[in-house]
Amino acid sequence: MKEVLSKCEERMQKRVDHLDVEFKEIRAGRANPNVLDKLRIDYYGTPTPINGVAAISVTEARTLTIQPWDASVLKAIEKAILTSDVGINPQNDGKIIRLVFPPLTEDRRKEISKDIAKMAEAKKVHVRNIRRDTMDDLKKLKKNSEITEDDQKNGEKKVQEMTDKYIKLIDSMTEKKQKEIMSV
């Protein structure tokens, strides 16, 4: 039964971790190096993340500076940013690339806030589905006489406590991200 409960918690934690990664990739009007995490460039025939070939730094609140260690990849980085969904035109001066993040409009902030709520709700559904699957696993263990009825009830109680814990965590992460988006 312990392995069923630990597997359940591990799966729920993965959903929360994934939501955290998704939230970090959301552009909030401030310069955020995480918006470049998904981008890959062709570096000597190998798809390489931008942070693997360049130093990325926030020089001002709304400016991200990308300084490649090898000047030959400057055009590839610029092309990757232009073809991505980042939505910012890079400024290339021949040595470094600057990304200037425009301030978000009120409508765009509300739209992003709704998207954040949708992402969070999808993760809550995943967590509840994991709870259901784990409850089914506990019932199978009871049916196969591998655990007692008391063990099953205790296990179900622990699964519900885990579910509540992760739902609260998702809610607090969502609230924090929405506040960040809505602040000017």
Domain map of the chain by residue range? 2-25+105-182, 33-100
**For residue 103, what pLDDT is reported?**
80
33 contacts 70 by C-beta, under 8 angstroms: no
Fold (topology level) of 33-100 = Gyrase A; domain 2 (3.30.1360)
pLDDT for 71: 85
Q: Which of the four CATH numbers 1.10.132.20, 1.20.59.10, 1.25.40.10, 3.40.50.300 does domain 2-25+105-182 have? A: 1.10.132.20
Q: Specify the pLDDT at position 29.
A: 66
Q: For the stretch 48-71, what's the b/e string if a residue is b when 16 or more beta carbons lie within 10 angstroms of its beta carbon?
A: bebeebbebeeeeeeebbbebeee
Q: Which amino acid is at 119?
A: M
Strands (E), the chain: 40-43, 46-49, 54-60, 63-68, 91-92, 97-100
pLDDT score for 25: 76
Task: Render each residue's pLDDT in the chain as its tens digit; 184 residues.
Answer: 889 899 999 999 999 999 998 888 776 667 778 878 888 888 888 888 888 889 988 888 788 899 998 888 888 888 888 888 777 888 888 889 998 887 878 888 888 899 999 999 999 999 999 999 999 999 999 899 888 889 999 999 999 999 999 999 999 999 999 988 887 5
Structure tokens at 100: 């200037």
Quick one: pLDDT at residue 34?
Answer: 80
Residue 120 pLDDT: 95
| Predicted pLDDT at 140 | 92
Cα gap 159→106, rounded to integer Å? 40
